[in-house]
Amino acid sequence: MTGLDILHLALALVTILVVAAPLLLGREVDYSLEPPKTDEDASELAARRAAALEAIRDLDFEHAAGKISDADHAAARARHVQEAAGALRAIEESQAKEWAAWESRIQARRAELRTKSEKR
């Protein structure tokens, strides 16, 4: 056996030990995290935003075709722009809350795992 063969054998044994150690030591790690609940369903917010944007497109088309007066177009467009902006703001707030909830759960889980590993 050459030195290279011994090195390969040693690396194989170390790899086997590292992979098998959790099984041999009986450590059970639960990595599951349930997704946090959000205030308003993201798909509902996205649908509200999409509907407002579609209404803006329709208004612009009808205004270009001469079916809607300038004053009516401006008023309706402003209303739909506000609706789309509100939905987008709500989506961003919901995502920020969701990210913060995930971050706090991850930090809590890390602390829990750190405590468990320090006890052993």
Torsion of CA 60, 61, 64, 67, to 10 degrees: -100
| Sequence spans of domains, the chain | 1-30, 32-119
Using one digit for the tens of pLDDT, what is the confidence trace for 6-34?
Answer: 989 989 988 988 787 777 776 565 556 55
The answer to whether 29 and 113 have CB atoms below 8 angstroms apart is yes
pTM: 0.54
Model confidence at 43, in pLDDT bands (50, 70, 90)? confident
